[in-house]
Amino acid sequence: MFGSKTLALQKRAQEIIPLGVNSNFRYWGDGITPYVEKAKGAYLWDVDGRKYIDYRMAFGPIILGHSYDDVDQKVIEEIQKGILFAMTGELEVAVVEMIIEMAPAVEMVRLACSGTEATMHAIRVARAYTGRDLILKFEGNYHGFHDHTLWSTYAPVEAYGNRRSPIPVPGSSGIPKSMREFIITLPFNDFEGFERVMRSYGEQIAAVISEPCQGNCAAINPQDGFLALIRKKTEEYGCVFILDEVKTGFRIANGGAQEYYNIKPDLATYAKALGNGYPIAAFGGKKEIMSIIGHGVAQGGTYTNNKPGVAGAYATLSLLKSKPILKTIEHRGQRLMDGLRDIFEDNGFPVAMTGYPAMFSFSLGMDAVTCQRDWALSDHVMYLNLVEKAIERGIMPDHDPREPWFLSYSHSDADVDETLNVYAEIVKEVKM
């Protein structure tokens, strides 16, 4: 699937880096893992010089486009004044002010460097605020690589047990067995199960954490009323509702899922599109809850105010506020979603389209999916077959069928047309 330079670089990398990559998500397998040379706008070039329309967008951070000039120029301007300080600067304050202005439920913010850090800190704050230890999360939702929530994320669903009494499954060796005492798992969109668990454990639960959609499982949408039910029951039992907007924040609307669904969590977490690829994250929410930080509650980090990340966020949020960026992405993404659906249906392939125009996925062989247990029944072999054929023709979605397609402001109507033309061809090939 890739050329000789890619294969040689993977072999070289695997001698000194586990799997030859610096994140497990970047490893597709021996001989089929891409290595990048450069990227600009909606395109990337691998080390063999082949050009692709990129629908991975660095797993979602690239909302404007790779190497976006307006953002890069702001970063260059700011880093010439210094990159990192053991004190706070005005630019950080301005970034936080914009987050609060754009996110309906956020009243105070702390910055971080990654989504993993943001969710980890939010969970600590929730536990400190409630004086409780239990965390409830949903199967298939990914909230970073820390031990607190890396449960029932990627395991085969048969390991999860009966949906009425799910078995939390650690997402990695090395997670202490004792962490199992602090986690409750449920299928996403399980209204009855959620109400039942809250009746039994609600007064012991510190926080319910959920993505608005299953960002690492085909962008499966919440069913009508599910997020509202979480909001209602967490209020009833005094739990903190953490909405993990690491993927949806500043991508599906300027105010993220809070604006999109008109929902107000207690805390929210951000990263990815916040800085168009620069290392920046944030968590924030109600002033009453966030104000306990620094008063017996520890949170910090040497790099939380790194100037490239802060400057990238300042430029990105400024552009999102001043231009119809997300509306443009929504228009083109909807064309792509509709076109792909038509191609599959015209060729007799059942398909469940999920997610949003700016980040979507599809599950083949299914009419609908509401949770990871449903998604597991879809045709993954067909999905991967199509992805590999698409990559050969210069279209690059992720090789993992759980990972959504991401669009940026730099994707053009011509890119959408080319993608649809390629999929129309390869779907017919597979059908034959």
Q: Which of 233, 272, 307, 389 is catalytic?
A: 272
Structure-block tokens of residue 394: 């210069």
CA distances from 363 to 71, 96, 103, 389, 399 (A): 35, 37, 31, 17, 14
β-pairing, 281-285 vs 108-112, is antiparallel
Side-chain-facing half-sphere of 22: CA atoms under 13 Å: 1
Q: Which two tokens stand for residue 60?
A: 């979602």
Residues 177, 127: Cα–Cα separation, whole Å: 20
- Told to judge if 383 belongs to the known catalytic residues of this protein, a careful annotator would answer no
**Amino acid identity, residue 77?**
E
CA 103, CA 270: separation in Å to the nearest integer? 11
* Residue tagged active-site, from 190, 244, 374, 415: 244
- 33 vs 53: CA distance, rounded Å: 17
Q: Which residues contact 224 (CB under 8 A, 6 or more apart)?
A: none
Q: Tell the burial category of 318 from Cβ atoms under 10 Å away from its Cβ (0-12, 13-18, 19+).
A: middle
Residue type, 252: I
Choose the catalytic residue: 68, 129, 142, 278. Answer: 142
Does 142 participate in catalysis according to the annotation? yes
Known catalytic residues are 142, 244, 272
